[in-house]
Structure 1
Amino acid sequence: MPLSLHWIDPEAYSFNSFLLLERFQIRLMLRWGGWGDDKDKWRACMGIALKANPAVAWYLARRCPECAPQVRELVRSAPVDADARQVRKAEKYVLLGVEDFTIYTTPEEMAEHCDFIRGWDKQRLFELADLTGKTVLDVGAGSGRLAFAAAEKAAWVYASEPVGTLREFMRDKAQRQGIRNVRVLDGFADALPFPDDTFDVVMSGHVVGDDYDREIAELTRVCRPGGWLLDCPGDSERDITRNGELLRRGWQEKYYVGSFGKDVFCYRKQVNKEPAAPAR
């Protein structure tokens, strides 16, 4: 089986869930062949599932045109005689192999099933920096774990999130709960849609790490001199190790034992830079 985070029961998800994926998600999952160790099996199962679900194959190829040749090849190489039981088995394997992307299609389920939300205490964020009256950015905000906690103290919170289903969930939650100081926008950690020196605090959790230098440079760009960068992961049911990449770049570490009895490491770094030159 694929590496499991235990966030989903694949039986509960239709393969049509992939009709909600973003272009970057399609590109990543097809490039990597899922997140588990057996990439060949994941791709073989994907081919079976796509051959049996031509509407999903059509969507993936058109939503992510650079992946269209790969989609066609997966379908072409799949066996033609898979029965309904084999197809469903393949669908579940594929869904579980990208279970983070799968559960993002049902963000209302995340608070119950994702350990990093379910076990987390918002006081852990408040211990990292004073958010009172501040303008805060949450990068890769997900379903809003950090953003809605920060909104209790901050003047304004901007939640940057590249997945549409998650953005819609946050907007709906803010409206439903009458939270008026949260704004939700599209954006990636390495290409944030904000001017230089905009925020007092720039925070994230489970986001920075694909390209540390590029991403941290972008977080620093939008943070004001003297402001704070925060890395605040949630509690995990799995063992987590220290982030040596952040430590080597001068981030301060804060350690605690989480609600599941596992080590949790948070990080912060104060921004030391010259203010951006005024626009001409």
Structure 2
Amino acid sequence: MDLGGINLAVLVASLMVAAVPIMLAAIGELVVEKAGVLNLGVEGMMIIGAVCGLATAATSGSPFLGFLAAALGGAALSLVFAILTQVFLANQVATGLALTLFGLGLSSLIGQGYVGVKPPPTPRLEFGPLTDIPAVGTILFHHDPMVYFSILMVAVVWAVLRYTRTGLILRAVGENHDAAHALGYKVQRIRLLAILFGGAMAGLGGAYVSLVRVPQWTDGITAGAGWIALALVVFASWKPWRVLIGAYLFGGISVLQLNLQAAGSTIPVEYLAMSPYLITILVLVIISADRGRAALNAPAALGKNFHASR
């Protein structure tokens, strides 16, 4: 089915692909914030994951090793944040911003040797006859493994937070770290593990950009996806399934503006290119207008440092 020269099935399939980087980064950041930590370094961790993933995949010839290296790279950078904020009690906002700046600079340095290098293609999963179903096959059964992995991670995070003791402890630490400490839970250890998970997910999101969406290296390749992921967590009210919906919304906007450009839209290219970021700002403005509801959904200890001696 076509609409104004745009194939709707291909459009939906494309938005599912476009949503993967911000979905992975946002679901990781959601877990971090559920533990009461605000990490603004998502963009830095994503771009480190992008360069580590591309470098490893290009060297080894395996995109899957590239994704593994990206997860480790993102987690390693998040460990720096964890040590500074959880051990030395540095300001979380300032440390997160510094992490982003550091990640952008380090990725540019590492990436100099990989400009123009193409990584090996990431294979798609084969579903046999299901792939040939009109429209449905294109939308649901014509993707690489990371598309399905991103959806799976949303489901896993939702189930863990809602139904498991681990999720209950994580949420307790995010709501009242002093009470959780009084009950005998290791607040710093729990937050450290949450931060490492968030870093790994951000690294995977960055690698998806450099290995699948834009299979090459250029400085600033994530193009603000980390900031959109941060906004998406607030947009989702810290609920995993809303992250999925929000990621597809923002992914759809990104894909639609590209398709409109290709279809020869009369709207100036500059306006189309800025549309995802304008929508992000608009959503945050709307959410900020209802501060009471936003505060009700946010973890009570979000952004507050904890020290056991207090």
Q: TM > 0.5 between the two?
A: no
Greater RCO (CA < 8 Å, at least 6 residues apart): 2
More strand, by proportion = 1
More helix, by proportion = 2
TM-score range, shorter chain: under 0.3
When normalised by structure 2's length, the TM-score is: 0.25
